[in-house]
Chains A and B, each alone.
Chain A
Amino acid sequence: MALMSRVSKRLRRIIQRPASVELTRYEALLPRIEKREPELEMLDDSELTAAATELGDELSSTGTFSDRQLVEVCALGREAARRGLGERAFDVQLLGTMGLLTGHVVQMQTGEGKTLAGALAAAGYALQGKRVHVISVNDYLARRDAEWMRPVYDLLGVSVGWVEPSLETADRRGAYSAEICYGAVSEIGFDVLRDRLVTDAGDLVQADPEVAIVDEADSVLVDEARVPLVMAGSVDAGVADLEVADIVRRLRVGLHYETDPDGRNAWLTTAGASVVEKSLGGIDLYAEDGADRLASVNVALHAHALLTRDVDYLVRDGKVQLINASRGRVAELQRWPDGLQAAVEAKEQLPPSDRGEILDSITVQALIARYPQVAGMTGTAVAVAEQLREFYELEVAVIPPNTPNVREDAGDRIYAAPNNKLRAIVSEIEEVHATGRPILVGTQDVAESEELAEKLEKAGLPCVVLNARNDAEEAAIIAEAGTYERITVSTQMAGRGTDIRLGGADGSDRERVAETGGLHVIGTARYPSSRLDDQLRGRAGRQGDPGSSVFFASLNDELVLGHAPDVPDGIDADPETGEVTDHAAHRQINHAQRVAEGVDLEIHRNTWRYTRLIEHQRSELLKWRDEVLRTDTAKKTLSELAAGTGDAGDGSGERTGKNGKKAKKAADGTGSGDSGSGDTGPGDTAPGDARSGEAASEDSGAGDTGAAETAARETDSADEIDGAHETGGADDTGGDEPGRTTSGAQRLSGARLTELAEKLGEDELTTVCRRIMLFHMDQRWADHLAFLNNVRETIHLRAMAREQPLDEFHRAAIPEFHKIRGEVESRSAETLASAEVTSDGIDLAAAGVRRPTSTWTYLVQDNPFDSDAEQALKKVRGMLRKKRS
């Protein structure tokens, strides 16, 4: 059996067909579930809960679900749903539940009741005694689903909670402590990031992750995963360079600056550079030390040339608010990184907001990888099956629809020019509207939705607009989109997770609307992936409803211009309507979409490949952080450092010299991890490190074994660095780092520590040590991230020497990481030594220990570069083309 499935998997891979899992095994269970139904109907509510609890006791002893247990979970769930929600779960929903309980991504059509299927699965896992996070795509859905499904959970005896951005820490902790917790992926991710920055173990909100059920899995796991979640803290008030913004505003495209066709980069021309230099008082922008000035010009130019108001951001309440491109809604608490935010604010002449610094980041992959058990559900999974397997090791199971889909999908209608297309869309709406059918129009961005709405208004066609400006009313608008004669114009989000019922939210007018032909969906342009197209089409034809869909496209759409601008010649348009029927045009548009999909996948994979190392480093550092957070390691470490220099002073010079020699020997490879015993302690570290030597002298004198431990550990870390050197990476890590440690440690003396302990009390000192150490740890990590960002930006240049950029990235990142521990310890010692003690206790703020006052998230764009060979080929291609023309 296992062999067969392996063979068939391999075969599917050979014919390169995305795979889906067989469901026949679970279909066989459906009659058994049905048989249990009458028995369960006899129970009263409390008996039902008791039965669930009993099942839970049985489940908690096993890790997986046997067939009988699957039957029980589904039967109980169906009964609970019947009582709690008044709806009996369909067979296909239970199939979905079973798919989820066995760790698959299930594909269920829109409107088939994913929410209930997911809820029953969540209850199943919760009965196992595991904590379940139901991860959805936005906050609204998380809250709605949690509230909606609460009666079911109550009947099954499991608790439920949800998180959203406005929750206070205590409420958050409460929500996470429930057996099932709903939350948006960004919210859960940011709670993880925030938990990584707490300074008191009591402030943690999340417990160890156990099970994740991902709603709208393709959106969460693929679309959202392209961009890592980044947490930033405010450093100081932002400095908007109004002067630069002013200068840049006067520049003209083509003459002073240029942009690339896909709108990712803008740069000054020679003329532009001299204009800017003159305006700034005749400076040289490209001088050796002028990078900062140039950066502010570049950032201002980026804000001016590439970011458009109402497409990329809104100005609301005197603030710049970002629009999340993949969802078309305002991205709360998101900002642009690296001064771009301030530049946009300067462009819009708004007061600058706080300047931030990246504190920590996590990718969706890393977030999901924390959960030992993952399952997901969505309407469009097969299209991303390969990615789900590559990045998440998840298999897709396709659930058949309850009633067959009768939606009619028309072929694309292509127009030569955008204005032809717009006219055709308006007349199409007019035509369909006359029959009374409700219409849903999906546009590409906010500006387009408003332009179309205006056009419709002029044509006497009243419509409802749903875009980032009024996303709060999203669900209500979408729910009513099936009303007779209703026209809804929306951005791409189109209320994922909310059903469009024919005849309005209550379906009262269903018959009349169904007779006219149901909902008609119009796409104003093809989206960058076929999956998004399918999502929009899927709004119509829910649960066997009648419906139809059509996409309009033009060869001047952004999709085509950005990804396949070389439109073949000889595509003729109808002179009157501008419609293009040539097969080549269809091919061109499909090709452009595939290119876009390929680019997205590449971005995704690149993000993943580069962040995997960072995540690894982070998790190693977090182990240490956790230890410091939960125990008194910080104080121990610092007293060890202090003890090391306790009696520093007379006649240690000669000793140190000797130590140095011995240390050299150690560095030559004789020193090994087990040299931690008291007598080998001295000098097994790198040259110049007086600390461990002194620690050992303390050791022999006072018999303080703790000090010997420091020496031994320091030995290890020195060895480790040396090891890294040997394996070819580090150039200059060994020597100076322990030296730094020493200089810090020399200032923190044992006497100082005793003094502090007297003034503050032992407990307070422990807390202070912990806070100082955590602060430096977080600070050092932020620095490390900035360093990695810097390296990442130029690493593609290494390909020029035929080196693998990714390998080179590792080569740069790893030695840098090994410096962290030593530096954190030495900086902490320095801070503790220099902090002033006042009547209120120790003044850490004055010593530079400041936590960020607010945190927010960053929208980061990543840019895959062409490879070397790519460049060469491009050139040849260009030459050929020139010759042809």
Chain B
Amino acid sequence: MLSAFRSALATPDLRKKILFTLMIVAVYRLGAVIPAPGVSYNSVQACQAQVEGQSFFTLLNLFSGGALLQLSIFATGIMPYITASIIVQLLTVVIPHFEELKKEGQSGQGKLTQYTRYLTIALAILQATGVIALAERGGMFPNCTESIFPDSSVLTMAITVLTMTAGTAVMMWMGELITERGVGNGMSLLIFLNIAAQIPAEGANILNQNTPLVFGFVCLLALVIIASVVFVEQGQRRIPVQYAKRMVGRRMYGGTSTYLPIKVNQAGVIPVIFGSSLLYLPDLLVNLTGDPQNPSGFTQFIQTYLSDQSSWLHMLLYFALIIFFTYFYITITFNVDDRAEEMKKFGGFIPGIRPGRPTAEYLRFVLSRITLPGSIYLGIVAILPNFFLSLTGEGQNQNFPLGGTAVLIMVGVGLDTVKQIESQLMQRNYEGFLR
């Protein structure tokens, strides 16, 4: 690992790519802390200190690297871009013209990307307006009385919206730049960065609120979690597959490199996101409709058992939801019948198993067996941080950087990026063959 990085830095063009990526990262982090025009920096800081970690926007804030609650020029972040790409992807199913473009290969894809960009700008304007309106009315920091916008004229607001929209456009551009000229996927890297950027602050938080011993324990545990997530993420079941459509004289290579891999965690991070979003819903409902002075029985129940992330009911429910969503998601995305059909079409088969339906059955069997440990693993990773809560005290929640979602995303993106660097290294690693 380390030696890989050493040789990566020793390869000129790869070094250039890595440095380029780091430069973009630096620019981006700088932008994330520059306040947008019209925002009172002092008020924001004061409010932030008050509501630390209790806002409803923590998930969004997490994805924006803290820029959202800072109301910085990158406050809207890359969320509009992500939303826009999802929307455009979905539209290819609905709008015939989009479907045609998608089929037309590169030139059509180029046009779709262009549409995505336009849509991103539109969404960014919407989101920036929303964020500013919310902050202006005090909705963003519920119990904070400071005035965030000293001058709330239309012109100032418009400039703020414009700035944040431009911020999103710049981030989109930076993401594309990384993909094109740096290492890794720009968008994923930026998300990774956003999450990672929170770690020091959260760490300091824990240190402030607890003894150094607890802090050390948390750090150790965090390392153990990350290590085991890395371990499980790499795990896969390899089903041997043979493609019998050529007649080759000598078949000297068995099935060692021709296989169909199924990951232990085939579903990725999605079930965790689904599960936590679903658990937020009752909480959100109560907060929006309930009367805080005079809580009803239902509200009290929700607040005691569901909103409190260290309650056993919350954890149990969360765990169950994740297991359910893992199975659900895998059934939707991994279509064994399609796989079996595709293999049959291209002359592939699993030795000893007939193509078509028997192959599908076999795949289904393997998949369901591997999904069980996979889903339990996801559940554990997701609720582990909740155990921390009792250790680290009030004010923490699921979205703090060692939470399930965050760790899974970070490890996923990290692994991908390292793999990409590695593969670029390998392609250049021929010197020495002749020496």
CB pair B247 A292 closer than 8 Å: yes
CB pair B346 A295 closer than 8 Å: no
> Given A291-B251, A291-B351, A298-B347, A811–B423 Cβ distance below 8 Å?
yes
What 0/1 readout, one digit per residue, does chain B (255-298) give for beta carbons within 8 Å of chain A?
Answer: 00111111100101000000000000000000000000000000
Q: Which of B225-249 contact A (CB under 8 A)?
A: 236, 241-249
CB pair A728 B247 closer than 8 Å: no
| B259 partner residues in chain A, CB cutoff 8 A | 794, 797
Residue of B7, B347, B355, B434 with most chain A CB atoms under a 10 A cut-off: B347
- The contact of A291 among B3, B242, B335, B420, by CB within 8 Å, is B242
CB closest chain-B residue, reference A338: B246
| A563 partner residues in chain B, CB cutoff 8 A | 103
| B260 partner residues in chain A, CB cutoff 8 A | 794, 797, 800
Which of B144-152, B156-164, B425-433 is near enough to bind chain A?
B425-433
Which of A519-527, A677-685, A835-843, A868-876 is near enough to bind chain B?
A868-876
CB pair A286 B257 closer than 8 Å: no
> Given A357-B249, A812-B257, A794–B243 Cβ distance below 8 Å?
yes
CB pair B247 A339 closer than 8 Å: yes
| A804 partner residues in chain B, CB cutoff 8 A | 419-420, 423
| B250 partner residues in chain A, CB cutoff 8 A | 786
CB pair B106 A598 closer than 8 Å: yes
CB pair B247 A295 closer than 8 Å: yes
Which of B52-60, B92-100, B131-139 is near enough to bind chain A?
B92-100
> What CA separation (Å) do A720 and B419 show in the bound complex?
20
> What CA separation (Å) do A176 and B342 show in the bound complex?
48
CB pair A793 B349 closer than 8 Å: no
CB pair B236 A801 closer than 8 Å: yes
> Is residue A24 contacting chain B, with contact meaning CB distance below 8 A?
no
CB pair B4 A726 closer than 8 Å: yes
- The contact of A564 among B103, B261, B348, by CB within 8 Å, is B103
- The contact of B104 among A299, A357, A591, by CB within 8 Å, is A591
Q: Which of A521-577 contact B (CB under 8 A)?
A: 563-564, 568
> What CA separation (Å) do A265 and B343 show in the bound complex?
11
> What CA separation (Å) do A260 and B248 show in the bound complex?
24
> Given A594-B107, A794-B241, A818-B433, A287–B352 Cβ distance below 8 Å?
yes
| B346 partner residues in chain A, CB cutoff 8 A | 265, 863, 865
CB pair B110 A598 closer than 8 Å: no
- The contact of A724 among B114, B246, B426, B435, by CB within 8 Å, is B426
Rounded to whole Å, the gap between the CB of A566 and the closest CB of chain B is 9
> What CA separation (Å) do A16 and B106 show in the bound complex?
12
CB pair B423 A807 closer than 8 Å: yes
- The contact of A295 among B104, B241, B245, by CB within 8 Å, is B245
- The contact of B261 among A291, A302, A798, by CB within 8 Å, is A798
What 0/1 readout, one digit per residue, does chain B (206-231) give for beta carbons within 8 Å of chain A?
Answer: 00000000000000000000000000
> Is residue A151 contacting chain B, with contact meaning CB distance below 8 A?
no
Rounded to whole Å, the gap between the CB of A868 and the closest CB of chain B is 8
> Is residue A852 contacting chain B, with contact meaning CB distance below 8 A?
no
> Is residue A457 contacting chain B, with contact meaning CB distance below 8 A?
no
Number of A-B contacts (CB under 8 A): 215
Main secondary structure of the interface of B (DSSP, over half): mixed
CB pair B108 A598 closer than 8 Å: yes
> What CA separation (Å) do A329 and B136 show in the bound complex?
74
- The contact of A727 among B92, B355, B429, B435, by CB within 8 Å, is B429
CB pair B3 A726 closer than 8 Å: yes
> Is residue A803 contacting chain B, with contact meaning CB distance below 8 A?
yes
| B338 partner residues in chain A, CB cutoff 8 A | 871, 875
Rounded to whole Å, the gap between the CB of A159 and the closest CB of chain B is 36
CB pair B430 A616 closer than 8 Å: yes
Which of A57-65, A443-451, A617-625 is near enough to bind chain B?
A617-625
CB closest chain-B residue, reference A879: B93
> Given A286-B354, A616-B427, A601–B106 Cβ distance below 8 Å?
yes
CB pair A800 B261 closer than 8 Å: yes
> Is residue A192 contacting chain B, with contact meaning CB distance below 8 A?
no
CB pair B353 A286 closer than 8 Å: yes
Q: Which of A592-615 contact B (CB under 8 A)?
A: 594-595, 597-599, 601-602, 613
CB closest chain-A residue, reference B4: A727
| A810 partner residues in chain B, CB cutoff 8 A | 423, 426-427
CB pair B434 A623 closer than 8 Å: yes
> What CA separation (Å) do A668 and B246 show in the bound complex?
42
> Given A286-B353, A591-B100, A597–B105 Cβ distance below 8 Å?
yes
Rounded to whole Å, the gap between the CB of A640 and the closest CB of chain B is 15
CB pair A728 B422 closer than 8 Å: yes
> Is residue B203 contacting chain A, with contact meaning CB distance below 8 A?
no
> Given A286-B353, A727-B4, A876-B93, A599–B105 Cβ distance below 8 Å?
yes
| A803 partner residues in chain B, CB cutoff 8 A | 261, 419
CB pair B248 A338 closer than 8 Å: yes
- The contact of B335 among A273, A791, A871, by CB within 8 Å, is A871
- The contact of B253 among A289, A787, A868, by CB within 8 Å, is A787
Rounded to whole Å, the gap between the CB of A842 and the closest CB of chain B is 26
CB pair B100 A286 closer than 8 Å: no
Residue of B104, B243, B357 with most chain A CB atoms under a 10 A cut-off: B104
Rounded to whole Å, the gap between the CB of B177 and the closest CB of chain A is 13
Additional pairs, 13, CB under 8 Å, beyond known A727-B426, A810-B423, A817-B433: A290-B351, A292-B244, A298-B244, A355-B249, A595-B103, A601-B105, A602-B105, A723-B7, A729-B426, A786-B250, A797-B258, A812-B257, A880-B94
Kindly list the 10 A-B residue pairs having the minimum CB-CB distance in the complex, ordered from nearest: A598-B105, A339-B247, A338-B246, A801-B261, A807-B423, A794-B258, A295-B244, A294-B244, A288-B351, A594-B104
Which residues of B are in contact with A by a Cβ distance under 8 Å? Answer: 1, 3-4, 7, 89, 92-94, 96, 99-100, 103-108, 110, 114, 236, 241-253, 257-263, 266, 268, 332-335, 338-339, 342, 344-349, 351-357, 419-420, 422-423, 425-427, 429-430, 432-435
A-B contact list, 10 entries, CB within 8 Å: A260-B345, A288-B352, A290-B351, A295-B347, A597-B107, A673-B432, A801-B261, A801-B266, A873-B92, A880-B94
